[in-house]
Amino acid sequence: MDKKGAIIKIFGKVQGVGFRYYTQQKASELDVNGFVQNRPDGSVYIEAEGTEENLDAFILWCNEGPAWARVTKVQIQRTPPFGYEKFSIK
């Protein structure tokens, strides 16, 4: 299966709301690999890869995030796959 990659930057109230934990759960559910990390500017940074369908579903979820998050902006940069074996929290 053809894997696609994406760099996803999420802005808003996305730290201190379990965003990374729920992102990892959603990635696992959708068979998406990569990592998620908080950035010093208050944003969340994700490198993700999976089939186009799964990646699109994952990106769609990132626009909402977990219940307590308030996502105000999402930047997506499509990339070739990175070669990750799993999804981790950094």
Q: Where are the domains of the chain?
A: 3-89
The set of residues, in sequence order, having a beta carbon less than 8 Å from that of 87 and lying 6+ positions away, is: 24, 27, 28, 32, 33, 34, 35, 36, 48
Architecture, CATH, for domain 3-89: 2-Layer Sandwich (3.30)
Q: Above pLDDT 70, what percent of the chain?
A: 99
Q: Which residue numbers are catalytic?
A: 20, 38
Is the pLDDT at 83 greater than 90? The verdict is yes
pLDDT tens readout for residues 24-45: 999 999 999 999 999 999 999 9
